[in-house]
Every structure is written in C-alpha cells, then in structure tokens.
Amino acid sequence: MKLLICPDSKDVREYVERGVDAFLFGMDHFSVNMLSLTLTEIKQFRKNYPDCALFVSFNKNIFPEELEQVEQLLCEFSHLSLAGILFYDLALVRLNEKLQLHLPLVWNQTHMVVNHNACNFYYDHGVSMGVMASEITVPEIVEIASSSSMKFIVPMVGYPIMAHSRRKLLSNYFKFIQEEKKKMRYHLQEKHGKVDLYSEEDATGTTFYFGSVLNGTKAFFELQEVIEYALFYEKGIQHEQFLKMVELYQEMMQRSSFSQEEKEYYIRKATDILGSNYTGFFFQKTIYKVK
C-alpha cells in the first residue's frame, strides 16, 4: 500500500518532503469536489515532479458537445506518463479504445465498484485500476481484490461525499426564503436520524458531505498488503491535521507486521489527530453489495 494524496493546494512540497510520491488532481472543467488543474498546470506538475505518480480525475458526466475536447485531452495525456485517469463517464473508456491510446484508466463510478466480475469486465476493456466503493466492508474489499485482475484504490481519510448536484441548491434555497447566502459551507442535520452533514456550493454545483471525517486506520492493517493506494482527501480537514495523518501513515507503511497493542496505539493516535473514530462502512454491511 502507498499513499495517494488529493491535496487542497497546488503546492505539494510539504508532502514530497514527507515521502509522498502520488497525487490526485481534478481535470479543469471535468471534475468536481477536488482541486482542479488546467492542462498547462498538469504539464508543469509533471515537469516539476517527474518522479511522482500523477492521477487526474474526470469525475463528472461528459456531454456530447464536450467529447471533442475530452478526446484532445486524452491525446495530450498519452505523452505525459500519467499513473492513472479516473473516470466516471464511460465515454473515456470508449475513446481510449477508439484512439488506441492505452491510457491507465481508473474506474471511479461512486457506488459501482463492488463486484469482481464487473472489475474483470472493465479490465478486459483497458481499465487497469478501480476506486473501491465506500459502501463495502473490509472482507468484501479483500474478496474483490483477490478475485480481480485490477489493482485498487481505497479512500481511507476524508469527508465522505453523500451527493452532488449541478444545481445551485443553496443559492436557490436562500433565494426562495428571501435571505442572503452569506458563506460557502453550511451545516445541516438530517431530520429523522439527526445525522450531521455539511454542504458546499461552487461553480460546479452543490455537494453534500457526511459530517464526520472518515478514519480508516482500523482497516489499514487488513488492507495493507491487498490494495495499491490508500486515498487521502484533504478537503475540509485542517492542513496541519492532514500532514500529521500523512506522517502517521508513512510511519505505518514502513512496517509489515503489528502486535495488537501496536494496532491499538496507531488507531488511538489517528483518532486523536482527526478527532474522529468514524470508520464508514469498513465494518458495517449495507444494501449496496452486488452479488
């Protein structure tokens, strides 16, 4: 397992100094909920950090009028030695096959990466890696990884995304109640379960996040030898906290075995850093498993 960082800044020197060598950015105009770079900035990043693995995300629907631009970008990427191109829309798979680019595509369709047969299907169509859905358990991740030809990325730290809409839902709400929208982020609470959420609105639309940050440290020990990358999202986490989590995981990744006491020590330390012991669905089954 290695760390894959989705940072909140284009300046990644602090991470590189701590031994991180894999980064994820969104593709400008074709991504949401993460820091996006233009093609020029992506090329400059490759020039500045030639030894780092660079992943670029297209995590939104592609519309017909955008296909020509996407095709041009993929052709440019074929010369940049990218480590992975995360896709949501299957147009990228089709274009990769059509143009015979052999790009390192990464299947990233939210709730869909939950079945090893589907993973092997996409692998046969040129998709080399997948981002595991956040609704499956550790045993299910292990089962899928052991039965698939793909390599996998698993989100381990970050605020889970509950939903995204292209609509300006916050702006529309405040317009409806005839009040001014004063800030970008708003705290919400689900009416029946009293679950805390927060919502942000930007040029790409409105995103709803779970109110507790995911702390996957307890799952780390079972997944360390199973998955390729542990994905860390910085968005919404204080920078110093995030750096401490990076340092903690870099320390853990130097080792191959842990006593029970050592596991409990690292779990406590991560919980102290993040202020959260929320483990998502790593140890809790949901209805999203597809057999």
* Rounded Cα distance, 82 and 106, in Å: 11
Residue 189 lies in a domain: yes
Residues 109 and 35 in one domain: yes
CATH assignment of the domain containing 247: 3.20.20.70
Give the bridge partners for 207, in sequence order.
164, 200
Residues 217 and 240 in one domain: yes
Tell me the CA distances in angstroms from 273 to 46, 59, 277, one per residue in order.
32, 29, 10
Residues 69 and 187 in one domain: no
Kindly report the average pLDDT of the chain as a whole number: 93
pLDDT one-digit tens code per residue, 91-138: 999 999 999 999 999 999 988 899 999 999 999 999 999 999 988 999
- Per the rule left: phi > 0, alpha: psi between -120 and 50, beta: everything else, 79 is alpha
Residues 140 and 186 in one domain: no
Q: What values do phi and psi take at 192, rounded to 5? A: -90, -45
Structural domain span for residue 192: 160-211
Residues 191 and 91 in one domain: no
Domain count, the chain: 2
* Residue 128 CB partners (closer than 8 Å, separation 6+): 84, 104, 105, 106, 150, 151
Confidence band, pLDDT 50/70/90 cuts, at residue 289: low
Tell me the CA distances in angstroms from 11 to 8, 15, 48, one per residue in order.
9, 9, 11
For residue 287, the model assigns a pLDDT of 66
pLDDT one-digit tens code per residue, 244-278: 999 999 999 999 899 999 999 999 999 999 999 99
* Rounded Cα distance, 74 and 69, in Å: 9
How far out from the chain centre does Cα 92 lie? 18
Residues 30 and 54 in one domain: yes
pLDDT one-digit tens code per residue, 188-211: 887 777 788 888 888 888 888 888
* Residue 197 CB partners (closer than 8 Å, separation 6+): 162, 187, 188, 189, 190, 208, 209, 210, 211
**Predicted TM-score (pTM) of this structure:** 0.92
Residues 154 and 171 in one domain: no
